[in-house]
Amino acid sequence: MASSEEDGTVEEKENNNKKRTKSALATAWLTFYNIAMTAGWLVLAMAMMRFYIQKGTHKGLYRSIARTLKFFQTFALVEVGHCAIGIVRTSVIVTGVQVCSRIFMVWFITNSIRQIQNEESVILFLVVWTVTEITRYSYYTFNLLHHLPYFIKWARYNLFIVLYPLGVIGELMTIYAALPFVRRSGMYSMRLPNKYNVSFDYYYCLIIVILSYIPLFPQLYFHMLRQRRRVLHGEVIVEKDD
């Protein structure tokens, strides 16, 4: 009996050690990742400010930062993986929608349609994204290091109240500005007849994307408001089952 109990104790200790090792590795990776992303968006912010100071105009700004923007925004797909494997306790669906919508805006709207790259709406959502991401990744970094300044915590859960709607306005205006060019060019569309016997119209796809903001934006916005109440005011949020 004593031997059996000792074996059980040893096994339990080994399991606990493995869990601690995995937790330490996950924390180290998340810290590195968030520092890198904070630095990346700071580089973007400085590049945008430098361009505007030197040129005195926003025209050409997007093209000057496009490569860096595409890299860091696309790399954010890693965050969906973080949620999926459980090292971050956030909804895979919420994270996936947010990350993929950004990637769609970068690759399939702004990057693909050069005629809209100088629109004011592009600069609007770029500025909003940059401020949001610097704040968000800074918050995660300091939180992981257990040294979270209050002003970063405050910024994380207050700035979005204004920035989130402004970002959505910028994105919607950019997609709307892209519609005439998409319709004339027929880009990313497939017309019948073709060997695949499939029809797809990117123009109407973009209209559906615009309409999808109607149900999605309130859900994501109120999700952040619930998080804000929980973090800043200590409210316990009870989620109702459907």
Of all residues in the chain, what percent carry a pLDDT higher than 70?
89
Residue 133 among the catalytic residues: no
Is residue 111 predicted with pLDDT exceeding 50? yes
Q: Is the model's pTM score more than 0.85? A: yes
Which of these is catalytic: 137, 171, 202, 203? 171
CA-to-CA distance for 1 and 116, rounded, in angstroms? Answer: 76
Is residue 20 predicted with pLDDT exceeding 80? no
pLDDT band of residue 237 (cuts 50, 70, 90) is: very low
CA-to-CA distance for 143 and 141, rounded, in angstroms? Answer: 5
- Per DSSP, helices labelled H in the chain are 2-55, 61-75, 78-85, 92-103, 120-144, 150-156, 160-185, 202-233
Is residue 21 predicted with pLDDT exceeding 80? no
Which of these is catalytic: 164, 176, 213, 221? 164
Residue 137 among the catalytic residues: no
Is residue 8 predicted with pLDDT exceeding 60? no
